[in-house]
Structure 1
Amino acid sequence: MSFSLWLSFVAASALVIAIPGPTIVLIATHAVSYGPRVAAAMVLGSALGGATAMAVAMAGLGVLLTTSTVVFTCLKLVGAAYFFCLGVRMWRQGATKLAAPQPAARVGLLKVFFHAFLVTGLNPKGIAFFVLFLPMFIDKHAPYVPQMLILIPTMVVLGLANDSLYALCAIRLRNVIQRASVMRAINRVGGTILAGLGVAIAMHRSS
């Protein structure tokens, strides 16, 4: 894997994971309701879950890569259409609010850790996401396993940083985030990023 390809992966991944999804909402809600210790447990669980989902996806991609280049290439086109449609849907959807703060309660850290892990790591949609996202950043002419050992830790570090930042912002800026205009702007920026990623994947395929 070349350094420029890795940098492209870092840039695209940072943009994609910055878009709020179910895991981000889950972490932000628990951060507001129960504080930073619970949020930290959920961030770690999400990171482990993301690494698991990505490993499963890359194992499947490895099989496709060695079996059929045509199938692997077609997967890129499916991914392009998927991200473009996802971006359009996100642009059009309404504002999504965080859950209201809950009374203080004792929450098991292991419990929320495994909850975040299961939501992120064993979600078929998450695995499918990586299957569609990763082909653009895999060098078919380079050894596959070393690329796994580079891409997975990179995504874990990016995920830890992103989820931690969202948890902190949820605690500090809850009233601002709850405004409909802010949520609408987030959805539209995120939708534009996803649709643009779909176009980029399609162009990469045809190059």
Structure 2
Amino acid sequence: MALHLWFTFFLAYLATTATPGPNVLLVVRNALRHGPAAMGATLVGNLTAQLLVVTGVALGVGALLVAMPSAFLALKILGASYLIYLGVRQLFGSNVAANTPVAAVPGSPVAKWRIAGEAFLVSVSNPKAMIFLCAFLPQFLQADRSVPVQFIVMYLTIAAVVISVHSVYCYTAFRFSKRLSAAYWVALIKRISGALFIGLGLRLLSARAV
């Protein structure tokens, strides 16, 4: 991939990623509730899903989703239902004790795998992401260069952008949270994220493949 083309791709994907969505919301929530280890686990789950999506786009799966409305509808319902489930669990789940610090939840391997798995499902169950990348990534391919290498370069760029943008969001949220008590902030995050997850799920249900 030529340098000028890569730089255009970088700027375009940066602008897209900077807009808060389910993945940004999830990584901020996990970072504030469970600390840096949870942020890392969330990024691992998200980027694993991104790798799967980019691979699927490279193999033409995104085009199949567009061509098969029933497959798109099924995946859309699955993704929306999972987001709504997360939102309901946030809104009506048990509250953290008032004297529990934000980062005091144990970062056991099981908990980290669960957090990564949740992030993976949130990211991979969104068919709009695959369809967007299906239309977006081929615009930057050059026929006279290795296609697999170009997809690898684009995925590595995507990973770098996601890590950078999500880290900025988490740092900003953490700095702001220092002004509030831990218990109050956790309760506020649970309510806001719960409502936003439900809203995102409902919005996903209304999305179209075209």
Q: Please, what TM-score do these two structures have when normalized by structure 2?
A: 0.59
One of 156, 164, 167 as aligned partner of 1:164: 167
SS across alignment from 1:173: helix
Provide the C-alpha distance between the structure 2 equivalents of 1:40 and 1:102, rounded to a whole number of angstroms. Answer: 22
Residue in 2 aligned with 1:138?
A: 141
| Structure 1 position 112, deviation (Å) | 0.1
Rate the CA distance shift 1:102–1:127 in 2: closer, same or farther, 3 A. farther
Q: Shift of residue 122 of structure 1?
A: 3.9
* 1:147 to partner: Cα distance: 1.1
Q: Residues 24 and 166 of structure 1 are in contact (CA less than 8 Å); yes or no, is this contact kept in structure 2?
A: yes
Q: Which of 118, 130, 149 does residue 121 from structure 2 map onto?
A: 118
Unaligned runs of 5+ in 2: 65-89, 181-187, 189-210
Aligned match of 2:28: 28
Q: Report deviation, 1:106.
A: 4.3
Rounded Cα–Cα distance in structure 2 between residues aligned with 1:49 and 1:10: 19
Mapped to 2, the partners of 1:142 and 1:42 lie a distance apart of 33
2:16 matched residue in structure 1: 16
Quick one: distance in 2 between partners of 1:53 and 1:102? 35
TM (norm. structure 1) is: 0.60
8 A contact 2:63–2:131 mirrored in 1 = no
Give the aligned residue type for 1:36: P
Instruction: Indicate if the aligned counterparts of 2:44 and 2:116 stay in contact, CA closer than 8 A.
Output: yes
Q: CA RMSD in A?
A: 3.0
Where do 5+ consecutive residues of structure 1 fail to align?
65-98, 179-207
Structure 1: how far apart are the matches of 2:106 and 2:137? 39
> Residue 181 of structure 1 corresponds to which residue in structure 2?
none
Shift in Å, 1:63: 8.3
Percent of aligned positions that are identical: 25
8 Å Cα contact 1:62-1:144 kept in structure 2: no
Paired residues in the alignment total 144
Q: Secondary structure at the match of 2:19?
A: coil
Letter of the 1:172 partner, please give it.
R
- Counterpart code for 1:156: A
